[in-house]
Amino acid sequence: MRRQLCFGVLLLGIIAAGCRQSGPVVTYSVDVYDPSRDPAVDLAATVAQAKASGKRILLQVGGDWCSWCHRLDAYIQVQPAVARALGENFILMKVNYSDENHNEAFLSQYPAISGYPHWFVLDADGKLLHSQDTADLEAGETYSQPAILMVVDQWKASAGGA
């Protein structure tokens, strides 16, 4: 019985260690493109989260209909350096743009978007800092790690604050 208990404790320790090392985590305040969500309400909550964490906000505008939006999400998941850089520096918030809801009132406060997905970098107070066409971050049929990391590095909060 004692040997089984020791084995069980050892197994739980191994499982817990594996869970802790599961890779970088990207922080999303909204992680789905949902036409029923109100992005103004979502942004207010995201601003509070960004202020508390000292991070900036990365709005990712797109939709479930968008193949490049799915490619970007998948790319972030399989590229630890990209996930780590985004997770350490930004709270990501997805904003839906689709036939069901263009979110015109919300998106009208930002520069025009020429393609999807599109990124808007905001400071922790929600002020627009940068508009990023993600087509500039593509490499063939996927994304470019150096290009994404350059944008993250350029727009991450300074050591003195967001």
CA distance 149 to 138: 12
**Local confidence pLDDT in tens for the 162 residues of the chain:** 544 544 444 444 444 444 444 556 899 999 999 999 999 999 999 999 999 999 999 999 999 999 999 999 999 999 999 999 999 999 999 999 999 999 999 999 999 999 999 999 999 999 999 999 999 999 999 999 999 999 999 999 985 555
Residue 53: its pLDDT value, please?
96
CA distance 141 to 136: 13
Task: List the domain range (segments joined by +) for residue 58.
Answer: 24-155
| Element counts in the chain: helices (H) and strands (E) | 6, 7
Residue 9 domain flag:
no
Residue 97: its pLDDT value, please?
98
Q: How far is CA 134 from the centre of its chain?
A: 13
The pTM of the full predicted model, rounded to 2 decimals, is 0.84
Residue 162: its pLDDT value, please?
57
Residue 147 domain flag:
yes
Residue 29 domain flag:
yes
Side chain identity at 128, as an amino acid letter? Answer: L
- Interior CA angle at 17 toward 16 and 20, to 5°? 90
Report helix angle 67-78 to 80-89, nearest 10. Answer: 90
Query: Which secondary structure element, helix H or strand E, spans residue 27, and what is its range?
Result: strand 27-30
Residue 2 domain flag:
no
Residue 106 sits in a domain whose CATH number is 3.40.30.10
Residue 103 domain flag:
yes
Q: How far is CA 117 from the centre of its chain?
A: 12
For residue 121, what are its two tokens? 């970098």
